[in-house]
Structure 1
Amino acid sequence: MYDILNSINAPADVKRLSAAELKQLASEMREALFNRLTKIGGHFGPNFGMVEATIALHYVFDSPADKFVFDVSHQSYPHKLLTGRKNGYIVDECFGEDSGYTNPEESGHDFFNVGHTSTSIALALGLAKARDLKNDTENVIAVISDGSLSGGEAMEALNAAGELKTNFIIIVNDNEIAIAENHGGLYRNLSELRDTKGAASANIFKSFGLDYIYEENGNDIQSMIALFKKVKDIDHPVVLHIHTKKGLGYELAEKNKEAWHWTMPFDRETGKPKFSFGDGESYTGLTINYIMKKAKEDERFVVVTPAMPGAIGLMPEQRAELGDQYMDVGIAEEAAVAIASGIAKNGAKPLVVTNMTFIQRAYDQISQDVCINNNPVTIVLNFASCYGLTDVTHLGIFGLAAFSNIPNLVVLAPTSKEEYLNMLSWSVDQTEHPVMILIPGNEVTSRPADTDFSEINKYKVEKAGEKIAILALGDFYPKGEALACALQEKLNITPTLINPRFASGVDEELLTKLKADHNIVITLEDGILEGGFGQKIASFYGKDCMKVLNYGLNKEFYDRYDPEELLRSLGMTAEQIVEDVKKLI
């Protein structure tokens, strides 16, 4: 099955192949991709569409002397297959050896651990600048695709590249789609350039002062080899605009590019997922139901997303139904937040939706454009948890500490579906505060909840007790319930169980009252401890005799971990915490 691929141990081996063998290599590489993706999932469409161009890159250039930088790494699997990492695709037992992104720890052919978008041009430009300072002569190639051009960092880097006077090659892999459909005037220009085979008078790349070449046959190896030979060792910056088909080689992926951008393990014959999460409720489903209902009831309500409708599972037909009450600004988190601030300022009701890992790029806009102005923007974030996304580039565990310390921003951590929906409804309609809501990372739970959260930083005592108080934040509330039961069973102590709800502030009145009949406070949070919720509580009790035990994650870049194993290693099971309490009493 892998006759030619098995002979490829380094890029130099690609250069020995004939045209027919290169074509066969492309077929075998897709089989290798199928082997991995059908079994463990991953980015499908971007990689299937980039096979031929990657073969040509390694046929013409000399990696790692010539340096490739892949944007987001969505399309880096073929590169890995040709740089000594094919076992991560053709040997099932080796899947764990290979991450889903470029990774310098895996190979000298990778230069950055990258999983966020719009970065490749700037990173590669830095490599080129260092090359020039050292008087070296290698080619530096940035690959950008999947809607990433609309990101501010990509635009800023194109602008800077326009002044470079040495070798710099930017490959714009134009597959006509981001994760969902592309948005913004930039992509109308790309469409015009495709339609005119690069001859349109309007050309965004030339406007930056860059040389430009269009290649229609981005999935033809020989066409790509000829193109790359033409620009190898070029003495100025050039954009190679190549037209490719996302998902090429799998009909289902070619027809439904959005659904096949990334996939769970699936059956190749049917395309259906191998694993089912059941028909139960999900927080994303609850969010969609709220959005569709709210949009019908309130014409001033609008959903704003930076190319991430999938963060809450908002499908194309639902986006179409929302019409003008849905705004995708493209991959541009900073703009999404600032636009939402303007919407709120002018009397409408914006709801920003994306993942925690991506909103981190808009920290300044949240602080400056929203919170200094105290505009009532609601930001709903998925994967703000140790559960869910576990790749090092997509961690959501830092957001709670990062955002809960911005003045004026109310950060809410719901514990159940009722509380989540009530927080969402309250936040969108109130006009006093910018609000960030962290979608729980655990399964949907159901408990009665308040409907009004206007008394900021007011915690809720769910079960009154004595001696020990447990403050279990957000989706760690069930862990607080389990700990309360364990303390009762093991130590015959009935603790007070508190649902803080507000991650961004301290309920000084309640914490003061606890001093009367409690001597231990335990905090549980789904995020890093440093700068997080628990440290706020510990700081409040700093001058008192109260013992405070904080449980959360370390300030560390975890990678591809098992959440339950990680929490156990951090001493966060109920049994482990009970043992810690024993030592104090």
Structure 2
Amino acid sequence: MTTSSTPLLDKIHTPADLRRLPESDLAEVARQLREETISAVSVTGGHLGAGLGVVELTVALHYVFNTPDDRLIWDVGHQAYPHKIITGRRDRIRTLRRGGGLSGFTRRSESEYDPFGAAHSSTSISAGLGMAVANTLSGRPGNVIAVIGDGAMSAGMAYEAMNNAGAMHSRLIIILNDNDMSIAPPAGALSSYLARLVSGDAYRSVREAAKQLGRLLPRFVYDRARKTEEFARNFWAGGTLFEELGIYYVGPIDGHNLDQMLPVLKNVRDFKETGPILVHVVTQKGKGYAPAEATHDKYHAVNMFDVVTGKQVKPKPNAPVYTSVFAESLVKEAAKDDKIVAITAAMPSGTGLDIFQKTFPERTFDVGIAEQHAVTFAAGLATEGFKPFCTIYSTFLQRGYDQVVHDVAIQNLPVRFAIDRAGLVGADGATHAGSFDISFLGILPNMVVMAAADESELVHMVATAAAYDEGPIALRYPRGEGVGIDMPIEGVPLEIGRGRIMREGKQVAILSFGARLAEVMKAADELAALGVSTTVADARFAKPLDEELIMRLASSHEALITIEEGSVGGFGSFVAQKLTDSGALDGLGARPLKFRSMVLPDLFLDHDKPEKLYAQAGLDAKAIVAKVLSVLGREALDVKIA
């Protein structure tokens, strides 16, 4: 009979089971929880380092607080795998990020223990404050705990929320998970003792009594005493910034030492006063797994890996990855032009700018998780004659949209937006899918919007953006590998607003914008076998449109179909507007034009393999063939695409 290696964890199906254990068992629970997290992620891939860093914190929070009645919010959510394991989802943890399986982030629809969904950064304090105020208004007892990492603390939204929280009297507990850099003296025996002291009833009672007494003293004496007390406490314990925002600061404490955390969390739980409290917990990313401790960046997000060696299983690429193609192309352009600079919002490796940084460290700027600032920072550089490439995932650029409009587009500043992760992204799901950038950028005056059909086109579009100084310009490209075509030695600037014909036909024209072009070409081959003569064109630009190309296709074909990896309201809508304005849909020559637009469906697609997502979205070759046959009034037979 095989003995389980996680006997204590096997008993925990909900946090209530955890709370029935003696405190003396919790360190072993944490060890087993870490083992289970490593084992699960080795099978599924996903975010590893952040979760390993909060194992003891996860155990402590669920042990001290009465979840789910007490609301526990995890910022970003990729640190929540251990939380999922002990909140009734262990039996599904090896389905993480797979079709029909658990989300890689917290999700309200998945569990009552996920009170707020999170996959983007820095939202926990705002959401937590809303829940805390709701408790106050409804007279509901209970705590609200927001766990935020110090990376997420680089976003302005976190400070806006803290500033608001400090002026209110609702009960909110903020856990600062400091896992990268300490913003106060390192945790140790003395700081831990002081944390327990300042979080305890005795200290707070004496402090409040001193305040009451101090108010009877002359004003200048009271002010001096208050400042002396704050200085003394913050000299040893840190937290001046938070205190100035009106947030009671406790810490720092060792986030891997349950003997330190448990008494502090109990004190904080039992506070009688209202108002926000911040507990500063210092943790180590990747804690307890040597490969992850040694290389934080490589083990932040991982593929499947061997638990013993830590070696990740990476499929051999068939073609260069778009992100690397962008970065290497930008390096070549920057070598010719010292005005080119690159900006990332805390994603240097995700955007490929770590490659650029190795060659041009002084021209690379990581501004933290602060997309709004990144955009306006780029605008400022552009005013002084520099050529900023503001390199941000499509889904993250949404956070800086106001700045794109007001600080860049209205002023017609030549900021270059390099938009990675355009289209569907697979395992990260709806929160990371680049579905809306064509629509929200294409409606802006002065903006140029390009999309690369393949890795070769991306090289040319980087060169185009580098050479374009007349206003803002955006180039979008997908996640993953290219299609495996010959690569140019260097990029050549494209003519703005000009597409290209890839294949000539007579009956149907398909106008593709972006990386669906390879699927369109497959569809055209199948249509040819079915007797449908098809023209295929690559638009290259959604704005400005190649109006000459559009009108030529409209006037010489029975049907025109556009296709894009974006939501309704994007490229297809722009083409439809042109056709409507020109009267083309009223009929050119002897027959009216049949026009259709293929876009992402009007829903948030869940995580799955990209090829399955595009089939579900109706944007693969089979769906394109079916659409063409439908437009022509022919029955869509069972189409087999190689």
If the length of structure 2 is used for normalisation, what is the TM-score?
Answer: 0.84
Q: Which among 509, 533, 546 is matched to residue 571 of structure 2?
A: 533
1:34 Cα deviation after fit: 1.3
Change (3 A) 1:304 1:108: same
Change (3 A) 1:481 1:156: same
Q: Distance in 2 between matches of 1:250 and 1:448?
A: 40
Q: Distance in 2 between matches of 1:91 and 1:484?
A: 37
CA deviation string 1:440-468 (max 9, x = no partner): 4452443689933343x222223333221
List aligned pairs for 1:345-424, cutoff 5 A: 345-388=383-426, 390-424=428-462
Contact 1:101 1:115 in 2 (8 A): yes
Q: Distance in 2 between matches of 1:256 and 1:583?
A: 53
Match of 2:332 in 1: 293
Match of 2:368 in 1: 330
1:583 Cα deviation after fit: 4.0
Contact 1:50 1:75 in 2 (8 A): yes
Q: Determine whether 1:434 maps to 2:472.
A: yes
Q: Which amino acid aligns with 1:227?
A: V
Identity of aligned residues (%): 34
Change (3 A) 1:361 1:464: same
Q: Distance in 1 between matches of 2:478 and 2:358?
A: 27
1:475 Cα deviation after fit: 0.5
1:392 Cα deviation after fit: 2.4
Q: Determine whether 1:36 maps to 2:40.
A: yes
Q: Determine whether 1:199 maps to 2:234.
A: yes
1:298 Cα deviation after fit: 2.6
Q: Which among 269, 273, 285 is matched to residue 232 of structure 1?
A: 269
Q: Which amino acid aligns with 2:234?
A: A
List aligned pairs for 1:285-324, cutoff 5 A: 285-315=324-354, 319-324=357-362
1:536 Cα deviation after fit: 2.0
Match of 1:568 in 2: 615
Q: Distance in 2 between matches of 1:402 and 1:24?
A: 51
Q: Determine whether 1:211 maps to 2:248.
A: yes
Q: Distance in 1 between matches of 2:436 and 2:170?
A: 39
Contact 1:390 1:558 in 2 (8 A): no
Q: Which moves more between the two structures, 567-576 or 50-59?
A: 567-576
Q: Which moves more between the two structures, 348-357 or 113-122?
A: 348-357
Q: Which among 220, 239, 261 is matched to residue 257 of structure 2?
A: 220
Q: Which amino acid aligns with 2:388?
A: P
1:94 Cα deviation after fit: 10
Report the aligned-residue RMSD: 2.4
Q: Which amino acid aligns with 1:242?
A: V
Match of 1:578 in 2: 625
Gaps of 5+ in 1: 178-186
Q: Which moves more between the two structures, 156-165 or 408-417?
A: 408-417
Q: Distance in 2 between matches of 1:578 and 1:351?
A: 38
Match of 1:470 in 2: 510
Gaps of 5+ in 2: 192-232, 586-591, 633-642
CA deviation string 1:364-396 (max 9, x = no partner): 111111111111111112111224454222111
Secondary structure of 2:89's aligned partner: coil
1:580 Cα deviation after fit: 3.7
CA deviation string 1:96-152 (max 9, x = no partner): 542211112221111122100000000000001111111122111110015000111
CA deviation string 1:26-68 (max 9, x = no partner): 1110111012110111111111110111111111110111111
Change (3 A) 1:447 1:520: farther
CA deviation string 1:149-194 (max 9, x = no partner): 01111111011011122311100000125xxxxxxxxx7xx14576
Match of 2:527 in 1: 487
Contact 1:349 1:429 in 2 (8 A): no
Change (3 A) 1:571 1:210: closer
Q: Which moves more between the two structures, 337-346 or 530-539?
A: 530-539
List aligned pairs for 1:238-249, cutoff 5 A: 238-249=277-288
Contact 1:119 1:153 in 2 (8 A): yes
Change (3 A) 1:575 1:220: closer
Q: Which amino acid aligns with 2:577?
A: S
Q: Distance in 2 between matches of 1:265 and 1:146?
A: 27
Secondary structure of 1:138's aligned partner: coil
1:342 Cα deviation after fit: 0.7
Match of 2:604 in 1: 557
1:508 Cα deviation after fit: 2.2
Match of 1:176 in 2: 180
Contact 2:173 2:279 in 1 (8 A): yes
1:324 Cα deviation after fit: 1.6
Q: Which amino acid aligns with 2:251?
A: Y
Q: Determine whether 1:19 maps to 2:23.
A: yes
Match of 1:264 in 2: 303
Q: Which amino acid aligns with 2:19?
A: K
Change (3 A) 1:576 1:144: closer
Change (3 A) 1:267 1:314: farther
Q: Which among 2, 5, 13 is matched to residue 9 of structure 1?
A: 13
Change (3 A) 1:206 1:537: same
Q: Distance in 1 between matches of 2:446 and 2:513?
A: 20
Match of 2:164 in 1: 160
Contact 1:306 1:331 in 2 (8 A): yes
Q: Which moves more between the two structures, 108-117 or 297-306?
A: 297-306
Question: Which structure has the bigger radius of gyration?
Answer: 2
